[in-house]
Structure 1
Amino acid sequence: MTGGTGGTGGPSVLGIVLAGGEGKRLMPLTTDRAKPAVTFGGTYRLVDFVLSNLVNGGILRICVLTQYKSHSLDRHISTTWRMSSLLGNYVTPVPAQQRLGPRWFLGSADAIYQSLNLVHDEQPDYIAVFGADHVYRMDPRHMIERHIGSGAAVTVAGIRVPRAEAASFGVITPGPGGARVDSFLEKPADPPVLPDAPDQVLASMGNYVFTTKALVDALQRDADDGDSAHDMGGSILPGLTERGDAQLYDFQENHVPGETPRGHGYWRDVGTLDAYYEAHLDLIADDPVFDLNNSRWPIYTHTGPQPPARFCAGGIAGESIVSPSCVIRGQVTRSVLSPGVVVEPGAVVQGSVLHDNVRVGRGAVVRGAVLDKNIDVPAGATIGVNPQRDRELYTVSPGGVIALGKGQRVI
């Protein structure tokens, strides 16, 4: 298998990453950036996870379709994801270009339809269409092999999630034997449960492998339908399912080189503040549920030339991720610190996620919070100590996570 059209003579695969979502449920972290550009795990952006999975899996020609507030995302992709031009490989951001008239993308299916020139240029045998907002490791080669063997128009990756969360996903009903997709319902209010688990549904991960002709034909039919929502999960997948052309791929069957037994099958949709916060807690245990250290399947990113973290007299950090160029003079526990964070003497940071260049002043307290970049917490200030006051001043999630946007002033 090769990315794009060159290489070893195997079937060629073009990667298309859908990265145009607004990310409203992650506000205020998405006030000034697209959701795939949000920092995660100290040094990464959310988009780094899907791109690392595709590249590690040998898909080396990838188009990232962007739209909303995409400047920082475009810059990150352009500066970080530089592939070998000698071999014709690339990861490139593709903004909405109004190729088909004076309109932006109407939905994820329309985004691909308006970008079909990329497909015509590469002429791949298959197209891997993956979402950009999830934290996971996945070897796409196994899914692609299954798809090729099935002869289906599309193969959909599915994962079990609690029934209570079904309204956030496309829900799959598998056919007899579990190989075929019998129905695909986008964010149903009354989802069909699994026969062996009445409290669970089979959710779409937003990762699809298409046979190229089948995708192009489906997109054309969708574009001609004036009543369509022009969405992959709401339009394209239900249509192909009704034709009997959709195949299921169970994510639990996917094995990544170097994975731990505990980390097998890990996948998180971090589309809300609570999910984003909880996914960070998965990183910091002694035996983390999701271990960022896997040299056989690395998550790639670029942080620039930064010095190591520095712990000064009295500076302590436990059960935490501390990124380069941090300076720790106070106490940090169960937290994730991005590059350039400074914690002054007497300051306490507990159960928090601090993005780039946050400064926590002398004697300040930060608990259960997510602070976006360039925030200055003044000496003696508190966040996460007085719940009523926090709700009056800041964004507080349903689960009680306090969130401040980029550069927001701390009272």
Structure 2
Amino acid sequence: MRGGPSILGIVLAGGEGKRLMPLTADRAKPAVPFGGMYRLVDFVLSNLVNGDVMRLCVLTQYKSHSLDRHITTTWRMSNLLGNYVTPVPAQQRLGPRWFLGSADAIFQSLNLIYDEQPDYVVVFGADHVYRMDPRQMVRQHIESGAGATVAGIRIPRTEASAFGVITTASDGMQVDRFLEKPTDPPGLPDNPEQVYASMGNYVFSTKVLIDALTKDADNDASVHDMGGSILPMLTEEGHVQVYDFDQNHVPGETERDHGYWRDVGTLDAYYDSHMDLISIHPVFNLYNHEWPLYTHTVQRPPAKFVAGGIASESMVAPGCIITGQVTQSVLSPGVIVEEGAVVQGSILHDNVRIGRGAVVRRAILDKNIVVPPGATVGVNPERDRELYHASANGIIALGKGQRVL
């Protein structure tokens, strides 16, 4: 933060994202396209940069080429001011092995912390869709004197079994336990019907983090995970407090999208979060210019609608040509929807082409897919389940360049 304590940001971007297959068949999860123009990693980087955390290391591992390329071509900071965003691959600095977990990833990259010598280290995940001002969380961390602070989002207690849950002492701030997907966790002191789900965002005092990582590295029984190993260890030592995400406010937010956070770890969550974007009053508003979301701007002409082509309740990126009908969908750059084609409730990535008279319904089509004239995707879910990936809720998903039968 300018004029304040020195902060190093570490973004954990090494996840495989197996539950997002086939979208992660050829790329890391944080590199998955989102919202027509963005990559998932753009959300955390935009939050950190908007919050004046200007020195950022993105730890990568699996299928990282497109992620590395996106970061190096898009996220260029001012060298004059010493700011940077840099991808950091698994370097095997401590021997011939990959990262064993998120904690081991940081432990193997401690040279970044030693070189920068920050007062505090912000460790955020790379695959969530949300807006957050990290300065407010850092401020609470400093004022509380905690060794570590974890961001928690309030969720109904009945939904706790899908999340890692944080329980607190009677003061509502001191963390006393981390519970992994509990079926019957205790409620919050001020609301018995709610619990804190961990958002995977942490602030550490530097010495506390280094000591914990070093101790964890010597523990052969550890899974070497930030949420599963480091935070429980520090909790037992009384070092951890929770930051209530509901207390975070960003400029330009609305009452409707305040506190929005989605873990898009499954095809259904990925699909549902896109549907949150396209209503008249969106649940998550991409058009908040006071807290912008940054990404690579494609060099394409404006979208074009010809010969009666229409799009309603949809987002259409530059370079698209619409001759057919599009409803409740999100189209990335270069999508072509030919005459008589119908696209309903779908997410189409770059350069998808929907042929004349084809129908695509409740589907996710990755880059460079061609739907032949008259073909259908999602119209006959039972048949499509045999041919393509299908989510638990029946969303049909095709990977990069996959042939439509």
Within 1, Cα distance between the matches of 2:82 and 2:20?
Answer: 36
For 1:2-401, list aligned pairs within 5 A. 2=2, 8=3, 10-163=4-157, 165-188=159-182, 190-194=184-188, 200-401=194-395
- Does structure 2 conserve the Cα–Cα contact (< 8 Å) formed by 1:355 and 1:372? yes
What's the secondary structure of 1:268's corresponding residue?
Answer: strand
Larger deviation, residues 174-183 vs 358-367: 174-183
Give the AA of the match of 1:317.
Answer: A
Within 2, Cα distance between the matches of 1:309 and 1:186?
Answer: 46
Query: Once the two structures are superposed, what CA deviation does each residue of 1:88-107 show, in whole Å capped at 9, x if it has no partner?
Result: 10000000000000100000
What's the secondary structure of 2:195's corresponding residue?
Answer: strand
State the Cα distance separating 1:165 from its structure 2 match.
Answer: 4.5
| Corresponding position of 1:5 | none
Gaps of 5+ in 1: 3-7
What's the secondary structure of 1:176's corresponding residue?
Answer: coil
Larger deviation, residues 358-367 vs 162-171: 162-171
Query: Once the two structures are superposed, what CA deviation does each residue of 1:188-217 show, in whole Å capped at 9, x if it has no partner?
Result: 455444466666431100000000000000
Within 2, Cα distance between the matches of 1:392 and 1:201?
Answer: 39
Give the AA of the match of 2:253.
Answer: E
Aligned residues: CA RMSD: 1.2
Within 1, Cα distance between the matches of 2:158 and 2:352?
Answer: 35
What's the secondary structure of 1:53's corresponding residue?
Answer: helix
Within 2, Cα distance between the matches of 1:109 and 1:162?
Answer: 29
- Does structure 2 conserve the Cα–Cα contact (< 8 Å) formed by 1:339 and 1:356? yes
Cα distance change, pair 187–100 in 1 and its aligned pair in 2 (3 A): farther
How many residues were matched structurally?
405
Query: Once the two structures are superposed, what CA deviation does each residue of 1:311-339 show, in whole Å capped at 9, x if it has no partner?
Result: 11111000000000000000000000000
Query: Once the two structures are superposed, what CA deviation does each residue of 1:64-115 show, in whole Å capped at 9, x if it has no partner?
Result: 0000000000000000000001111000000000000010000000000000
Q: Give the TM-score of the pair, scaled to structure 1.
A: 0.96
- Does structure 2 conserve the Cα–Cα contact (< 8 Å) formed by 1:171 and 1:184? yes
- Does structure 2 conserve the Cα–Cα contact (< 8 Å) formed by 1:160 and 1:202? yes
Query: Percent same amino acid among aligned pairs?
Result: 76
What's the secondary structure of 1:177's corresponding residue?
Answer: coil
- Does structure 1 conserve the Cα–Cα contact (< 8 Å) formed by 2:151 and 2:245? yes
State the Cα distance separating 1:156 from its structure 2 match.
Answer: 0.5
Within 2, Cα distance between the matches of 1:169 and 1:223?
Answer: 26
Give the AA of the match of 2:385.
Answer: R
Cα distance change, pair 164–70 in 1 and its aligned pair in 2 (3 A): farther
What's the secondary structure of 2:58's corresponding residue?
Answer: strand
Gaps of 5+ in 2: none
Within 2, Cα distance between the matches of 1:387 and 1:81?
Answer: 40
Query: Once the two structures are superposed, what CA deviation does each residue of 1:25-67 show, in whole Å capped at 9, x if it has no partner?
Result: 1011001100000000000000000000000000000000000
Query: Once the two structures are superposed, what CA deviation does each residue of 1:115-164 show, in whole Å capped at 9, x if it has no partner?
Result: 00000000000000000010000000000000000111100100123445
Within 1, Cα distance between the matches of 2:319 and 2:158?
Answer: 41
What's the secondary structure of 2:59's corresponding residue?
Answer: strand
